[in-house]
Amino acid sequence: MNFTKMQGAGNDFIVVEAGNESRDWARIAIAACDRHFGIGGDGLLLVLPSDIVDVRMRLFNADGSEAEMCGNGIRCLVRYVFDRGVVPRGELSVETLAGIRRVKLITVNGDIRFQVGMGQPRLAAAEIPVKVTGKNRLDITLDYPVRVDGEQVPLSFVSMGNPHAVLFWQRPVSDFPLSQLGPQVERHRIFPNRTNFEVARVVNREQIEARVWERGVGETLACGTGACAIAVAARLHGYTGDRVDIKLPGGILNVEWDGRGEVFLSGPAEVVYTGEWRSEVPAK
């Protein structure tokens, strides 16, 4: 299996042109993403033909589960097809499980970056989904108390095509016990499809520092949809304005949201290396 290893702000992916090939991609993802016995990565990213737009994306997490959307992954996919001349550089549409997303190449201070139209955030509990009590399921849910590890944790819920729970913390996020609490939040009974979990500290109105526990992966160096969820929740709280930099362990992602329409995510996408992996996982 020929592959390209790519990363966006440290969130790394094994990119494969799958064509119409039918394989057990979930099993392949588990094996290939293993950082000791495989290639190593947060996910397996498939580049596929689309019947309705320029290209289609599928993403399998390191545990074999399939993600609806990935902000860092979609930038890597676009960089991949641009570099190979599959489509002209500029702007293109990508089909995902969360819907059609538009991505364009931009230049910031001489650096190539990619801006993704991430769609409108979904804020109703029923759409995230999350099981809340004592509220209308169509309400925005901010600082909802969830009991985790014997403590009440105030979580704000946002869907960016996939579910997110955001905790705003006043101390440096490096001090937060993410490896301990992340799995408990991800699999909490109120999330029927599990959830991604972000802990964030507002530095000022233009910058937030954060760490992410990704559903099906664990802690990652960055998460594009997570950065968007943080920015949306922060603006709804009144902590920030329309534009904010999310500083993650792997780098900085920029998010823009006017409080009403589509969320825009900007960040890097880089090739790490290419190679061939001789998988022992059989085709279907």
Phi, psi of 111 (to 5 degrees): -95, 140
Radius of gyration, alpha carbons of the chain: 18
> Tokens at residue 85, please?
């001349």
Phi, psi of 229 (to 5 degrees): -60, -40
Residue at 8: amino acid letter: G
Structure tokens at 93: 């549409």
By C-alpha distance, which of 5, 13, 3 is closest to 220? Answer: 13
Q: How far is CA 29 from the centre of its chain?
A: 17
- Residues marked active site are found at 70, 223
For the chain, first and last CA: distance in Å? Answer: 15
Find, among 210, 212, 200, the residue nearest to 61 by Cα: 212
Please tell me whether the peptide bond between 129 and the residue prior to it is cis, using omega within 30 degrees of 0. Answer: yes
Cβ atoms of 63 and 30 within 8 Å: the answer is: yes
Q: 87 in helix, strand or coil? A: coil
